[in-house]
C-alpha cells in the first residue's frame, strides 16, 4: 500500500541519492554494504568514526560539506550515534561540543557544529560551544604531515567552568588527528574530565 506521505515528501538515501521511504535511513543496497564503525586512538584518547573516508561515504560527506546539502546532517548524525554506541559504550558524557571555525559567525554554517547539535539531540545530551578558535590557520589538507601539528598549535581556547565535565568532541573528517589532539589538550587544560571524540569519516591510516 502506498503511503501518501511518501508522495508528498521525498526522502533520499544519504549515500547514493536513491528515493526511499520516509521510514528508511538508507536504501537496501547501501544498507547491505555499510561497514562497521571504527575507532582511532590519539595517545590515551579514543575517536570513534562512522565511515572510512572513501567511496560513497566520501561523496556523501563532500555533498554535505561543500555542496550545501544540509538535509544530510540528520541521517549522517544517526550514523555517528551508532559509532558512539558501539565504540564508546564504556563512556558517559555530560555534554557534546565540536571543533570550531575561526570567526564562524561570519560563515553561518559550521559542518561540525550542525552534526554535533543533531547528534546531541539523538543522544539526549546538551550541545554547547566549549571551544573558540582564536586565529586563522592554513587548511590542514594543504600542508605536510609535519607542518599540520604546528599549524593548529595554540589555535584554540576553552570556556571556563568545565570543572570535570565529561565531553564528547565532534568533528566531520579526521586525517592526522592533530586538530582533535589540540582541541583535547585545550579542553583538558581548562579542567575537562573524560574526553572522547567522534567523527563522521576517518582517512585510512597506512
Instruction: Indicate the pTM of the whole model.
Output: 0.88
For 54-104, write each residue's pLDDT tens digit: 988 988 888 887 776 778 889 999 999 999 999 999 999 999 999 998 776
H or E stretch at 173? strand 167-174
The more confidently predicted of residues 175 and 94 is 94
Q: Are 148 and 140 in contact (CB under 8 A)?
A: yes
Query: What is the average pLDDT score of the chain?
Result: 87
**The residue to which cell 583538558 is assigned:** 188
Q: Tally Cβ neighbours within 10 Å of residue 203.
A: 18
Res 3 pLDDT > 60: no
Strands 19-20, 11-12: pairing kind: antiparallel
How far is Cα 2 from Cα 140, in angstroms, rounded to an integer? Answer: 48
Amino acid at each position: 500500500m502506498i503511503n501518501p506521505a511518501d508522495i508528498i515528501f521525498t526522502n533520499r538515501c544519504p549515500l547514493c541519492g536513491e528515493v526511499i521511504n520516509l521510514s528508511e535511513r538508507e536504501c537496501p543496497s547501501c544498507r547491505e554494504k555499510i561497514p562497521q564503525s571504527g575507532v582511532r586512538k590519539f595517545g590515551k584518547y579514543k575517536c570513534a568514526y562512522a565511515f572510512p573516508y572513501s567511496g560513497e561515504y566520501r561523496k556523501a560527506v563532500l555533498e554535505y560539506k561543500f555542496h550545501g546539502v544540509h538535509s544530510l546532517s540528520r541521517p549522517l548524525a544517526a550514523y555517528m550515534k551508532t559509532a558512539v554506541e558501539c565504540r564508546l559504550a564504556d563512556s558517559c558524557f555530560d555534554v557534546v561540543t565540536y571543533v570550531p571555525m575561526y570567526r564562524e559567525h561570519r560563515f553561518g554554517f559550521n559542518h561540525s557544529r550542525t552534526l554535533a547539535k543533531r547528534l546531541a539531540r539523538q543522544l539526549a545530551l546538551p550541545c554547547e560551544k566549549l571551544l573558540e578558535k582564536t586565529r586563522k590557520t592554513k587548511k590542514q589538507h594543504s600542508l605536510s604531515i609535519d607542518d599540520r601539528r604546528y599549524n593548529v598549535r595554540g589555535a584554540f581556547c576553552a570556556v571556563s567552568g568545565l570543572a570535570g565535565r565529561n565531553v564528547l568532541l565532534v568533528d566531520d573528517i579526521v586525517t592526522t588527528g592533530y586538530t582533535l589532539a589540540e582541541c583535547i589538550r585545550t579542553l583538558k587544560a581548562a579542567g575537562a574530565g573524560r574526553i572522547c571524540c567522534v567523527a563522521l569519516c576517518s582517512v585510512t591510516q597506512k
